[in-house]
Amino acid sequence: MATCAVSGNILDPSGTAAASLEVSARVNQSSLSGTSLIVPAQLTTTTNSSGNWTLTIQQSLSVIFTVEYPPLGTEPMRVESFTANIPATTTASFSNLIVVE
């Protein structure tokens, strides 16, 4: 099975690296890859001190990325989601896979 290393970087509004944020990629539907069944699952990682993160995901899957942001003041934890199709390449930039409106 071919995989793609999807990488990204997260900064706060001041341009400072957003370290220790949780980034996940979720597959909601089963699919076939050759003779293998790919089952729904969630892959999770944490941004490093530079705000960088990488997740290795099966190529050609449709996934939902989520990023958990820390609360502002008394607000609760915030989660933002992005849908993406994983390309048939060995590496991909998260910013090239999503649309932010």
How much is the pLDDT for 81? 95
- pTM listed for this prediction: 0.88
Those residues with Cβ within 8 angstroms of residue 66's Cβ, 6 or more apart along the chain or in another chain: 23, 24, 26, 79, 80, 81, 82
Radius of gyration of the chain (CA): 14
Paired tokens of 52: 């960088």
Dump pLDDT digits (tens) for 42-60: 999 999 999 999 999 999 8
Other Cβ atoms less than 10 A from the Cβ of 4: the count is 20
